[in-house]
Amino acid sequence: MGRFRDALAAPGLGAIAEVKRRSPSAGDLRPDADAAALAKAFEESGAAAVSVLVDERFGGSFADLQGARAATSVPLLAKGFFRDQGDLLQCRIAGADAALLLLRELNDEQAGLMLEGGRTLGLDMLVEAHDAEELDRAVALGAEVIGVNARDLGTFAIDRTAQLELVARAPRDRVVVAESAIASRAQGAEAELAGADAILVGSALMRADDPAAKLADLLARPLVKICGLTRQEDVDAAAEAGADLAGFILAESPRRAEAPLPVPDTMLSVAVFVGERRDAGTDLVQHYPEESGHRARDGVLLRGGERVATVVDLPWLGEDEDHWERAAVVEGRILLAGGLGPGNVRPAVEAVRPWCVDASRSLEARPGVKDHARVRAFVDAVRSLEAVRS
């Protein structure tokens, strides 16, 4: 395995931060971008790798790649429309650890020669697919790193639903990168839960006032879930505060929602069931077994029926002084629930290091009605912890 593949295969969601001055679909993004300065800033903000456009149609050049190589030690991906091994040699000489292969531009024979050429030069290859046929081709060609682009480079249309379906279909023995149309933590998490090892983010960073800070924000963990939502104004307040997941209880509860409410692109919707569950049209399902007429202690977070995280909770209407210690030894992604609020979420996160934290009753003015100030305080407490870590 090469440096690029190794970096993306590390535990957790990785990010390839892209230096891109302009886009054929969006026009100028950051015409005065300093590739070297951005690459260094992206490394400091947690990028697993940095992508550098070397094609003049994107305002890029190989000089940008050379500048980035001099400024950072993270793996570098050269992006352009490469068609022969001479292009790959130029990428390697300029300092790239990996290069992009667009299957829409190459037949299988050409792509196979490029993959072999990359191996000879010590380059990892990011083999990009846009549809099911191209994904199957990438797999058959033996591509170790597969990018799934939500943007059709012919029409520039975005289809994130199709992208996520392809990410979920990709073999788990490959490193999978979700590319394009990721501008929020929730969208990154959605790709992660579908099976992506990493996300590639360009335009959202280049449009930001502070690209490195935007990258750090996209990667910030834990995510924040506000549960027990019953009113649209409370969903809106949670979104404005910066929460990532909106929970709608569809089981018997004083906080029961009639149905899931609309959420913005910055959030994922979660239907909460006890016992029997059904398709509620949400992005995720939080499911607890039923015990003696109420929820069991712990549950699971599901995407399309597949378990993607463990919900670690308190006993029903009970306490457990060892709750956080118990949660800390659970393997995999942890959604930590049970008595969390603005005052105790910081020590909970420090003790457990969960993927997501969940609060409901502690943020209420009365059952089913959120206190917006407490919602903001809860989200701020989590985000301030991330700021201290960085």
- Domains of the chain with bracketed CATH: 3-219 (3.20.20.70), 223-389 (3.20.20.70)
Q: Are 137 and 111 in contact (CB under 8 A)?
A: yes
The pair of three-digit structure tokens given for residue 127, joined into one six-digit string = 């083999």
Q: What is the band of 166 on the pLDDT scale with cuts at 50, 70, 90? A: very high
Region 51-70 average pLDDT: 92
Contact criterion met (CB below 8 Å) for 214 and 208: yes
Concerning whether 40 is annotated as a catalytic residue, the answer is no
Active-site entry in 51, 61, 180, 269: 180
Among 61, 149, 203, 269, the one annotated catalytic: 149
* pLDDT of 1: 61
Calculate mean pLDDT across residues 73-94. 96
Given a contact cutoff of 8 angstroms between Cβ atoms, the answer to whether 138 and 103 are in contact is yes
Q: Which residue is catalytic, options 43, 134, 144, 179?
A: 179
- Catalytic hit among 20, 214, 225, 370: 20
The one catalytic residue among 23, 40, 61, 128: 128
Task: Tally helices (H) and strands (E) across the chain.
Answer: 14, 22
The confidence score (pLDDT) of residue 388 equals 45
Question: Has 291 been annotated as catalytic?
Answer: no
Q: Residue 102's pLDDT band (boundaries 50, 70, 90)?
A: very high
The answer to whether residue 331 scores a pLDDT higher than 70 is: yes
Q: Tokens 């997941």 sit at which residue?
A: 245
Can 269 be counted among the known catalytic residues? no
Number of other CB atoms surrounding residue 179 within 10 Å = 26
Give pTM, 2 decimals: 0.93
Quickly count: other Cβ atoms within 10 Å of residue 105's Cβ.
14
- Integer Cα distance of 344 and 58 in angstroms: 47
Q: Which of 23, 45, 79, 225 is labelled catalytic?
A: 79
Q: In the prediction, which pLDDT does 157 show?
A: 79
Active site (annotated) includes residue 149: yes
Radius of gyration of the chain (CA): 22
Average pLDDT, rounded, for the chain: 94
Q: Percent of the chain at pLDDT above 90?
A: 89
Q: Is 370 an annotated catalytic residue? A: no
Average pLDDT over residues 249-260: 95
Tens-digit pLDDT profile for residues 357-371: 999 999 999 999 999
